[in-house]
C-alpha cells in the first residue's frame, strides 16, 4: 500500500514524517535538515527556490521572497491589514476580495494556496527521494482555531501539490497523538497542549486512555505567534537606530529583512542566555558614509517588549478550561509545542497558570508532524490501537430572525456528529426560504463567517407557522459538512456542500493543479540540467587532476586529445545548453580512457604497496589510496556519486540485511528497519465497505460547490392547483407581528406569531416561523431563516402543564390515529385517577406528523452506551471509549453503518458525560418510564375526547437537546419544540418571547381552588419575557384552541411593569374550566443583571478618561445617558444612577442603576501608544 505521510505545514518551518516499521520517522530534506523553512523565493531569472535556499537569498531579494504565508491562507484582504504591513512582499486584493501575493520577478500574483503548494511539493519530492516511491496521500495539520475557509485553503494547497489530503487534523491534537504513544494506556490522563508556533497559538485539552484520544475543548488565536515576538524586536531595533542615526530602517526593504533575521536569532539566543549582541554592519548609508547597527538586547528588555503578547495567551487558556468544565487541578500533564514555547517567559506563564512543570520530552518542532504521521498510519491501516476523537473548533449555525446566529452544532462538539432542528415560516403564503450557513462565536450573523447559502423553494402557500422545515447539519470524521433543508409536507429537499468562501473554486484549483504539474516538469528539467552541468564540472575537475598526476604516462597524442576535449567541455559549461554539455562530457570521457587506465594502475600499485609494507608508497598522495570519485575499466568510465547521510545510512542497512538474510521492520524489501526475527507484519482487518455510498452521503465540506439536489415531493391538489397541508386549513385570526421586517424568517411560538386556530385533531406547528418568499395577496420576495432566539439570545423555558382529569366523553370520529385513542376505564396510566387531581407534565407529543414527516423513536442513551442508570462518570467514559474503538469510522473505513452507529454513541455520550445535561435527561426519562410508557401517561383515562395536552415552550435549560427532542416528540427538533403562541402583542411587546399552549381537552370535572368550585381544572404554564418587557410592561396575546363547548378564541394577558421572575399572573376562567396561571420567567439580559428593583451593569472606560475625568456613555433600559467620571477613578468603582432601575411593582418610583467602571486599554497598542505609556512609566518610576 502506498505510504501516507504526515505534514506539519507551519508558518516558519514545515516538517514531513512517515510511519516506517510501525514507528513515526521524520524525513530529512535534500539539504539534510529535518526542518524545511516555509519560504518561497523567485529569482530575477525566473527560477523558483523553496526552503533553505529561498531563505538565504531573502536579504537581497525581499520583495520576491514569500514567508509566513500561512497567515494569509483562506482570508480576505480586509482581514489581514496588520499582517500585510509587516511582510516585505506586496499583498494585494484578488478575486472575491481574497489576499494574493504580487511577485515582480514572476510578473504575476500568486494565491496563498499556490505558495503553500510549492512548499508541499518540496516536502513531497524530498519524501519520494527518501522512500524511493511515489507519495500521493497525506494528512496535513492546521491550527486548531482555523476556520472552514482556512482549512479549505490548506486542502486545496495539498491538491495543487499533487497530494490527496485524507484528513485535516488540528496541530495540538497531533501533538497529543505523538505524546500519547509513550504513555501507559491503562489509566486515562487529562493533558493540556500549549502550542505557540510561528504564527498561531492554540491550546487544547484532551483525555487520553485505552487508545482513545478525546479532545475536550480547543481554543486559540490565529494572530499570535513567534513572528509577533520577532516584530517587537524589529521595531525596537529600528527605533533605537532612528534615535542614534536619525534614519528609519523600516523604509528600506533590504535593511528591514536583515533586521528580521537578526531579531529571530536574538530571540532564539535569549532562550538560553540573559543577553545577546545584535551587530549589523553596513545596515544602511547616507551622505556621511555607511552606518552600522550594534546594540545589546537583554532578556529583561525582551520580556518587557513582549509582555502583552505573553499575556494574550491567558484568555484562550482559560476559555479552553471553561469549555472543558475543568480546573487547573484536573490537568495531569502540560505539553509544550511549537518553537516559541522555548522562551522562558512563556514557560513561566504556563507554570503560573497550571501550577505544573511543563513536559519537555517531546520535540516542539517535530512533534506535530510525528502525530500527523501516526494519524496517517491509522488511516492507512498500519496503526490499530489509536482512535482520534477530534472536535469542531468553531460553532456552526444559521442566520435567524433579527440577524441572529442560531447555533446547531456548538464548538468543541466531537465529530462525526449530526444535528437537526425544525423551522417554519413567519409570513402567510410563504413559498421559499433561504438557508444562510454560518461559522463563528459571535451572536450576530454579520460578525461571523458565511460558509454558504441555498434556497428551498416550492413550498405550498400556507399560514405562517404551519410548514415544518427540517434543517440538518451532518459532519463526518473528515470534517465534511453537509447541510440540508427538507419541507416535511411536500418532501421537497435541498442540500449544499459547504465550501469556504473566499477560497479557490473548483475551476481555479484544477487550473492550478495543471500549472503545478507543468511546473513540476519544468522543475525536473531544471534539476536535470543542473545535474548535467554539475557532472560536467566534476568530470572536468577530475580530468585536470588526472592530467597533472599521470599525464606524463600517456602518449602526446592521447594527452592532446584529452586537453582538446577538456577545453570543449569548459566552453560548453559556460552555456546553458544541457545537450551540448552532455555531448562534451561523453567526448571527454572517451578521450580520457588512457588517463583513467593509468590512474587505476597507480591506485592498484599504491594499494599493493600498502598491503605489503603496512603503508602506501611514499609517492602516493594522501587519500588517493582510498576509493576515487571516478575510475575506468573495460566497461567504461564510472562515477561514484555522493549520497546524503540519510540515504547512505539506508544503503548500508540494506546491505547488512542482505548479508544476514533477516527481514527488517518496515515491510517493503530494501527498506531500513530493525530485524523482526522472521515475523511478517500483515495489513490487518478493515474491509473496503461501500465507499461510494459514504461519499455520496457526506459530500466534502471543503469541496467545490455543485448542483443543489432536489428530492421531489408532490403538491397536494387543491386551491389554485395546490392544497396546503392540514395545518394550513385553520382560518386563523392572527395577531400582528410587531417589529417584523422583510427578508427574515423565524421560529414559531412568540405571542402573535404562528397562533392559529385548528381542529383538535390537527398537529400543531411547533416549529419556528421563518420568513421567506411569501406570496400572500400583496407580498413577495426572498426572505431568510431567522430564529426564535433572535431576541435575547436565549431559549424559552419549557411550559409546564398542570391539569387534572375526569372521565369524559368517549373519543369521537375525529380522524385521530387509533394508537392515540384514550384507553378504556381502568386501563393505562390514568385509570382510577380522582377528579380534580393535578398532574405535572413537562412536555407532550404534538399529534400526527404532517405529510412527508416521520416519528423517530425515543433514544435510551444508557442503553446505547450499555451502562446502567447508576453508572458513574468513569464507567460512562470507559464505555464510550470501548465503543469508539469498535465503531469509529477510522477503524471501519468506508463503513457507513459504523459511522451512523458512532454518531448515535457520540450523541449519547455528549448527554451523559455532562452532569447538567444528564440530570435533565434523567428527569425526562423518568416521565417517559412513569406508569408504563410515555404515550400512556400523556393519554390518561379521563376527560375530553383524547385526554391529551400539548404544551410548547423552547426549554432554556434543554436548548442543547435538539436531536433528543426531535426523537422524543415526533420529529420536531429541540429548537422547534416548544415554540409557543404566547405572542408579542401590545405596544411594549417588541422583542418579547412567549410560550404557546394548545389545550386539546374537551370537558372537565369540578375543581376546588381557594374555597371556590370551578368546573374543570386550573392550568399552569411558564411564560418567559425579556427584561425590557418587565421594565416597560407588555400585553401578550394567548390563543386558546377550541375545547368542550367553547370555540377557539384569544385572550390578552397584561404583564405589569416591574414584574419579577417567579411571580404568577392569573387569567380567571381561562383554564380547562378553571383558571390559567402563568409563572413569569425573565430571560437573562446581555448587558444588565437585576438585583431586586436595581439594575447592575459594567461600562468600559478608557484609562485616560479615568485618570483625567470626563463623560462616558452609559446604557439604560430607557436609552443611553451621559455619566460624569471624576479624575482618578479606579477600576471597579461603582456609580449610582437614580431612578434608572425597575419600577416598583406596588407604588410609585423605581430602583436605581448601578454602573461599575472597568478600565479599558486600546487594542492593539500602536507604537505611539507604547511610547506614551513608556514615558508615563518612566515619569512615575
| Residues labelled as active-site residues | 8, 70, 171, 195
Bond before 718 cis per omega within 30 degrees: no
Q: What is the CA radius of gyration of the chain?
A: 37
3-class state of residue 1039 by DSSP: strand
**SS3 string of 680-709?**
CCCCCCCCCCCHHHHHHHCCCCCCCCCCCC
Q: Running DSSP on this structure, what letter comes out for residue 26?
A: E
d(C-alpha 781, C-alpha 796), whole Å = 30
Phi and psi angles of residue 276, each rounded to the nearest 5 degrees, phi first: -145, 150
* Residue from 888, 881, 885 nearest 909 by CA: 881
* Residue from 539, 528, 626 nearest 586 by CA: 539
Q: Running DSSP on this structure, what letter comes out for residue 334?
A: E
d(C-alpha 643, C-alpha 652), whole Å = 11
Q: Compute how many other C-beta atoms are within 10 angstroms of the C-beta atom of residue 838.
A: 12
Bond before 1085 cis per omega within 30 degrees: no
C-alpha cell at 840: 405535572
3-class state of residue 769 by DSSP: coil
* Residue 1127 near residue 1109, CB atoms below 8 Å: yes
**SS3 string of 791-816?**
CCCCCCCCCCEEECCCCCCCCCCCCC
* Residue from 635, 624, 636 nearest 585 by CA: 636
Count of residues in the chain: 1181
Q: H or E segment at 631? A: strand 630-633
d(C-alpha 496, C-alpha 480), whole Å = 11
Distance in Å from the first CA to the final CA of the chain: 68
d(C-alpha 625, C-alpha 616), whole Å = 7
3-class state of residue 1073 by DSSP: strand
* Residue from 890, 811, 958 nearest 390 by CA: 890
* Residue 893 near residue 392, CB atoms below 8 Å: no
Rounded to the nearest 10 degrees, the angle between the axes of helix 896-912 and helix 915-929 is 100
Q: H or E segment at 1082? A: strand 1073-1082
Q: Compute how many other C-beta atoms are within 10 angstroms of the C-beta atom of residue 742.
A: 12
CA distances from 1004 to 516, 836, 895, 947, 1017 (A): 79, 9, 55, 10, 7
User: For residue 48, how far is the Cα from the chain centroid?
Assistant: 33
Distant-in-sequence, close-in-space partners of 517: CB < 8 Å, separation ≥ 6: 162
Q: Is the dihedral of CA 166, 171, 177, 178 positive or negative?
A: positive
d(C-alpha 189, C-alpha 191), whole Å = 6
d(C-alpha 103, C-alpha 90), whole Å = 7
**SS3 string of 570-581?**
HHHHCCCCHHHH
3-class state of residue 880 by DSSP: helix
* Residue 417 near residue 903, CB atoms below 8 Å: yes
Exposure on the CB side of residue 833, measured as CA atoms within 13 A: 26
User: For residue 929, how far is the Cα from the chain centroid?
Assistant: 39
d(C-alpha 4, C-alpha 850), whole Å = 49
Amino acid at each position: 500500500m502506498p505510504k501516507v505521510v504526515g505534514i506539519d505545514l507551519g508558518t516558519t518551518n514545515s516538517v514531513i514524517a512517515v510511519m516506517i516499521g510501525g514507528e513515526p520517522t521524520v524525513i530529512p530534506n535534500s539539504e539534510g535538515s529535518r526542518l524545511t523553512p516555509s519560504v518561497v523565493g523567485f529569482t530575477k531569472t525566473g527560477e523558483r527556490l523553496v526552503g533553505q535556499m529561498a531563505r538565504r537569498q531573502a536579504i537581497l531579494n525581499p520583495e520576491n521572497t514569500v514567508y509566513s504565508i500561512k497567515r494569509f491562507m483562506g482570508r480576505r484582504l480586509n482581514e489581514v491589514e496588520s499582517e500585510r504591513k509587516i511582510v516585505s512582499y506586496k499583498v494585494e486584493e484578488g478575486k472575491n476580495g481574497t489576499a494574493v501575493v504580487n511577485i515582480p520577478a514572476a510578473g504575476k500574483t500568486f494565491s496563498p494556496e499556490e505558495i503553500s503548494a510549492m512548499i508541499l511539493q518540496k516536502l513531497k519530492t524530498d519524501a519520494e527521494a527518501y522512500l524511493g516511491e511515489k507519495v500521493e496521500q497525506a494528512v496535513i495539520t492546521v491550527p486548531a482555531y482555523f476556520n472552514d475557509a482556512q482549512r479549505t485553503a490548506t486542502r486545496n494547497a495539498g491538491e495543487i501539490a499533487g497530494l490527496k489530503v485524507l484528513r485535516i487534523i488540528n496541530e495540538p491534537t497531533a501533538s497529543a497523538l505523538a505524546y500519547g504513544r509513550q504513555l501507559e494506556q491503562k489509566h486515562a490522563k487529562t493533558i493540556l497542549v500549549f502550542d505557540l508556533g510561528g504564527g498561531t497559538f492554540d491550546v487544547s485539552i484532551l483525555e487520553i486512555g485505552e487508545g482513545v484520544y478525546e479532545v475536550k475543548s480547543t481554543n486559540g488565536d490565529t494572530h499570535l505567534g513567534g513572528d509577533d515576538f520577532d516584530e517587537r524586536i524589529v521595531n525596537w531595533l529600528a527605533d533605537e537606530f532612528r534615535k542614534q542615526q536619525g534614519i528609519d530602517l523600516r523604509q528600506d526593504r533590504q535593511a528591514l529583512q536583515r533586521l528580521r533575521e537578526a531579531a529571530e536569532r536574538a530571540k532564539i539566543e535569549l532562550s538560553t542566555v540573559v543577553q545577546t549582541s545584535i551587530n549589523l554592519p553596513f545596515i544602511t548609508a547616507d551622505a556621511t558614509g555607511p552606518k552600522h547597527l550594534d546594540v545589546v538586547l537583554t532578556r529583561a528588555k525582551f520580556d518587557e517588549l513582549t509582555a502583552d503578547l505573553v499575556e494574550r495567551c491567558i484568555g484562550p487558556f482559560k476559555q479552553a478550561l471553561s469549555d472543558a468544565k475543568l480546573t487547573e487541578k484536573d490537568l495531569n500533564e502540560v505539553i509544550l509545542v511549537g518553537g516559541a514555547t522555548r522562551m522562558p517567559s512563556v514557560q513561566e506563564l504556563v507554570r503560573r497558570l497550571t501550577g505544573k512543570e511543563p513536559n519537555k520530552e517531546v520535540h516542539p518542532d517535530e512533534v506535530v508532524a510525528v502525530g500527523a504521521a501516526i494519524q496517517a498510519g491509522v488511516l492507512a491501516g498500519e496503526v490499530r490501537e489509536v482512535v482520534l476523537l477530534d472536535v469542531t473548533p468553531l460553532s456552526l449555525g444559521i442566520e435567524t430572525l433579527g440577524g441572529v446566529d442560531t447555533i446547531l452544532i456548538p464548538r468543541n462538539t466531537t465529530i462525526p456528529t449530526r444535528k437537526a432542528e425544525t423551522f417554519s415560516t413567519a409570513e402567510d403564503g410563504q413559498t421559499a426560504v433561504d438557508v444562510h450557513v454560518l461559522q463563528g462565536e459571535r451572536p450576530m450573523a454579520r460578525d461571523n463567517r458565511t460558509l454558504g447559502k441555498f434556497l428551498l423553494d416550492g413550498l405550498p402557500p400556507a399560514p405562517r407557522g404551519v410548514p415544518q422545515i427540517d434543517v440538518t447539519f451532518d459532519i463526518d470524521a473528515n470534517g465534511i459538512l453537509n447541510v440540508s433543508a427538507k419541507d416535511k409536507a411536500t418532501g421537497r429537499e435541498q442540500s449544499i456542500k459547504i465550501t469556504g468562501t473566499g477560497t479557490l473554486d473548483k475551476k481555479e484549483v484544477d487550473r492550478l493543479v495543471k500549472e503545478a504539474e507543468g511546473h513540476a516538469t519544468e522543475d525536473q528539467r531544471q534539476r536535470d540540467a543542473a545535474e548535467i552541468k554539475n557532472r560536467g564540472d566534476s568530470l572536468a575537475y577530475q580530468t585536470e587532476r588526472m592530467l597533472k598526476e599521470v599525464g606524463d604516462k600517456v602518449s602526446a597524442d592521447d594527452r592532446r586529445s584529452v586537453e582538446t576535449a577538456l577545453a570543449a567541455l569548459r566552453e560548453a559549461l559556460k552555456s546553458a545548453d544541457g545537450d551540448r554539455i552532455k555531448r562534451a562530457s561523453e567526448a571527454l570521457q572517451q578521450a580520457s580512457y588512457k588517463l583513467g587506465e593509468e590512474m587505476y594502475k597507480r591506485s592498484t600499485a599504491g594499494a599493493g604497496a600498502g598491503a605489503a609494507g603496512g603503508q602506501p608508497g611514499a609517492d602516493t598522495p594522501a587519500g588517493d589510496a582510498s576509493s576515487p570519485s571516478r575510475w575506468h575499466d573495460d566497461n567504461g568510465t564510472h562515477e561514484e556519486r555522493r549520497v546524503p547521510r540519510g540515504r547512505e545510512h539506508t544503503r548500508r542497512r540494506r546491505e547488512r540485511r542482505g548479508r544476514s538474510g533477516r527481514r527488517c521492520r518496515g515491510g517493503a524489501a530494501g527498506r531500513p528497519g530493525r530485524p523482526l526475527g522472521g515475523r511478517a507484519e500483515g495489513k490487518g482487518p478493515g474491509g473496503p465497505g461501500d465507499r461510494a455510498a459514504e461519499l455520496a452521503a457526506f459530500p466534502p465540506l471543503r469541496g467545490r460547490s455543485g448542483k443543489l439536489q432536489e428530492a421531489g415531493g408532490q403538491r397536494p391538489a387543491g386551491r389554485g392547483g395546490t392544497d396546503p397541508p392540514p395545518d394550513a386549513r385553520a382560518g386563523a385570526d392572527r395577531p400582528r407581528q410587531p417589529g417584523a421586517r422583510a427578508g427574515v424568517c423565524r421560529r414559531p411560538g412568540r405571542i402573535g406569531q404562528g397562533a392559529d386556530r385548528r381542529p383538535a385533531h390537527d398537529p400543531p406547528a411547533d416549529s419556528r416561523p421563518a420568513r421567506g418568499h411569501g406570496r400572500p395577496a400583496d407580498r413577495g420576495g426572498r426572505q431568510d431563516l431567522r430564529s426564535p432566539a433572535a431576541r435575547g439570545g436565549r431559549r424559552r423555558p419549557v411550559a409546564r402543564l398542570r391539569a387534572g382529569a375526569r372521565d369524559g366523553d368517549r373519543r369521537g370520529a375525529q380522524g385521530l390515529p387509533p394508537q392515540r385513542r384514550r384507553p378504556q376505564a381502568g386501563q393505562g396510566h390514568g385509570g382510577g385517577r380522582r377528579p380534580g387531581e393535578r398532574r405535572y407534565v413537562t412536555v407532550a407529543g404534538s399529534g400526527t406528523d404532517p405529510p412527508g414527516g416521520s416519528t423517530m423513536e425515543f433514544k435510551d442513551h444508557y442503553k446505547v452506551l450499555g451502562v446502567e442508570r447508576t453508572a458513574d462518570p468513569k464507567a460512562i467514559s470507559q464505555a464510550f471509549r470501548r465503543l469508539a474503538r469498535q465503531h469509529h469510522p477510522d477503524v471501519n473505513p468506508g463503513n457507513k453503518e459504523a459511522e451512523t452507529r458512532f454518531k448515535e454513541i457520540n450523541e449519547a455520550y455528549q448527554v451523559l458525560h455532562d452532569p447538567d445535561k444528564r440530570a435533565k435527561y434523567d428527569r425526562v426519562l423518568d416521565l417517559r418510564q412513569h406508569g408504563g410508557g410515555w404515550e400512556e401517561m400523556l393519554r390518561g383515562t379521563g376527560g375530553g375526547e383524547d385526554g391529551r395536552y400539548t404544551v410548547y415552550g423552547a426549554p432554556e435549560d434543554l436548548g442543547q437537546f435538539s436531536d433528543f427532542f426531535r426523537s422524543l416528540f415526533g420529529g420536531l427538533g429541540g429548537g422547534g419544540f416548544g415554540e409557543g403562541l404566547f405572542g408579542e402583542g401590545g405596544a411594549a411587546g417588541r422583542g418579547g418571547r412567549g410560550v404557546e399552549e394548545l389545550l386539546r381537552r374537551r370537558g372537565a370535572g369540578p375543581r376546588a381552588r381557594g374555597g371556590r368550585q370551578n368546573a374543570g381544572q386550573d392550568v399552569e404554564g411558564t411564560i418567559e419575557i425579556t427584561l425590557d418587557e418587565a421594565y416597560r410592561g407588555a400585553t401578550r396575546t394567548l390563543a386558546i384552541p377550541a375545547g368542550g363547548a367553547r370555540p377557539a378564541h384569544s385572550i390578552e394577558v397584561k404583564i405589569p411593569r416591574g414584574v419579577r421572575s417567579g411571580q404568577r399572573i392569573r387569567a380567571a376562567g381561562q383554564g380547562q374550566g378553571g383558571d390559567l396561571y402563568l409563572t413569569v420567567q425573565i430571560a437573562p439580559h446581555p448587558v444588565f443583571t437585576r438585583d431586586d428593583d436595581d439594575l447592575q451593569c459594567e461600562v468600559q472606560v478608557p484609562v485616560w478618561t479615568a485618570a483625567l475625568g470626563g463623560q462616558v456613555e452609559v446604557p439604560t433600559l430607557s436609552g443611553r445617558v451621559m455619566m460624569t467620571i471624576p479624575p482618578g477613578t479606579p477600576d471597579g468603582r461603582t456609580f449610582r444612577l437614580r431612578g434608572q432601575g425597575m419600577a416598583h411593582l406596588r407604588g410609585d418610583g423605581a430602583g436605581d442603576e448601578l454602573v461599575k467602571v472597568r478600565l479599558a486599554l486600546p487594542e492593539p497598542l500602536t507604537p505611539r501608544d507604547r511610547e506614551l505609556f513608556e514615558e508615563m512609566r518612566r515619569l512615575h518610576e
